[in-house]
Amino acid sequence: MTPRSLALPLLTAALVLAAPFSAKAMQSSTTQSPYGKLPDGTPIEQYTLTNESGVTLKVITYGAIITELRVPDRSGAFGDIVLGFDKLEPYETKSPYFGAAIGRVGNRIARGRFTLDGKTYSLAINNAPNHLHGGLRGFDKVVWKAEAAKGPNGAPGVTFRYTSADGEEGYPGTLSVTMTYVLTNANELVLHYQATTDKDTPVNLTNHSYFNLSGRGDILGHVLRLAASRFTPVDDTLIPTGAIAPVAGTPMDFMEGKPIGRDLGRLANKPQGYDHNFVLDSGGGHLALAASVYDPASGRALDLLTDQPGVQFYSGNFLDGTLTGKYGVVYQQHDAFCLETQHFPDSVNHPNFPSTILHPGQVYRSTTIYRFSVR
């Protein structure tokens, strides 16, 4: 298949006017400050990255969670475009993975079971009847070691490290993970992932930020374009059937770009909304444009680039008004979207899907870029 991810049609003429922010240049920086303590007294640190345009990223050592991301709208007013909490405790007890690093295996594994090298492994069933996002204590709930880092041209960054022990959450092998977050002066958030293992093990790392380019309210009017002409249909527990189907003629078709809410009524899943893996036309293995999102209200735009073969598009279906987040905002259904770059869900049980198995002597590497602009 010829990759089409960099040659998709534009949504409207307005998209041609996409431009980087024109804020007055300032000094980029990385600062560190206390964020709180876990019940056992473990201190959690916050790193604040600011680039020359004034774009600000805040991330904590608990779960390597992105807690704040402030970018300007078309008038130059800065706003926080990710969901989350004002303090540490809710991230520990009630967060639906807001902003978190996800691993050892992102997304679902059917019935929490897989067979590797002739041995069957049983994992926690934390999203009945399946295993989700690494288990009861996945990478979203561990404390990462962190240090300030520098990206190209002195861009501010932070590097996180964690060693997942052999048998942790039921997975084989000791997995050593390094992640670096860089906020470039081109207004890009770049996430680099790297991992090694001493035994064969599945690995599928991603980030679970919930975006709302308006800052609040629903995202149904956001215009989404996906560079994916196929998707993986799922059963009623959101496990892929194993088929890879065309999006044409279905509510999954975002090839030309459309408001997220346009075809929501055609979806049968409950709660209603998108929670599906899209098969990127780039095929993975090299950095390519995967998705573009535009908010007509604020003028903010987001381009997503990745070297992964898939992206999980989630439209905040399970947000139900029971969580109060930052600034006292109560999060309602469809108040955010997620674009989780990934290998396909339950790949370890589907030989026809791209493999997620990492072998000793290999190095897992992946890069995802979130590029921000205004229109």
Q: Is 168 a catalytic residue?
A: no
| pLDDT tens digits for range 126-161 | 999 999 999 999 999 999 999 999 998 899 999 999
| pLDDT tens digits for range 74-116 | 999 999 999 999 999 999 999 999 999 999 999 999 999 999 9
Chain-wide mean pLDDT for the chain? Answer: 93
| pLDDT tens digits for range 222-235 | 999 999 999 999 99
Residues 347, 279 contacting (CB under 8 angstroms): no
User: Domain containing 173 — which CATH number?
Assistant: 2.70.98.10
Using the predicted structure, report yes or no on whether residue 263 has a pLDDT greater than 80: yes
Q: Is 276 a catalytic residue?
A: no
Q: What is the mean pLDDT of residues 289-295?
A: 98
Structural domains in the chain (count): 1
Residues 307, 206 contacting (CB under 8 angstroms): no
pLDDT of 20 reads: 58
Question: Is residue 1 one of the residues assigned to a domain?
Answer: no
Question: Is residue 361 one of the residues assigned to a domain?
Answer: yes
Using the predicted structure, report yes or no on whether residue 4 has a pLDDT greater than 90: no
> Given 131, 208, 276, 343, which residue is catalytic?
208
Instruction: Please give the Cα distance from 312 to 308 (Å, whole number).
Output: 11
Question: Is residue 192 one of the residues assigned to a domain?
Answer: yes
Question: Is residue 5 one of the residues assigned to a domain?
Answer: no
| pLDDT tens digits for range 11-67 | 332 333 345 565 456 899 999 999 999 999 999 999 999 999 999 999 999 999 999
Domain containing 333 equals: 13-374
Residues in the chain: 375
The Cβ of residue 64 has, within 10 Å, a number of other Cβ atoms equal to: 28
pLDDT of 270 reads: 84
Question: Is residue 7 one of the residues assigned to a domain?
Answer: no
Question: Is residue 118 one of the residues assigned to a domain?
Answer: yes
Using the predicted structure, report yes or no on whether residue 211 has a pLDDT greater than 50: yes
pLDDT of 33 reads: 98
Q: What is the mean pLDDT of residues 291-320?
A: 98
Read off the pLDDT band of 269 (50, 70, 90). Answer: confident
pLDDT of 208 reads: 98
Using the predicted structure, report yes or no on whether residue 118 has a pLDDT greater than 60: yes
Question: Is residue 97 one of the residues assigned to a domain?
Answer: yes
Q: Which amino acid is at 56?
A: T
Question: Is residue 212 one of the residues assigned to a domain?
Answer: yes
Using the predicted structure, report yes or no on whether residue 249 has a pLDDT greater than 70: yes
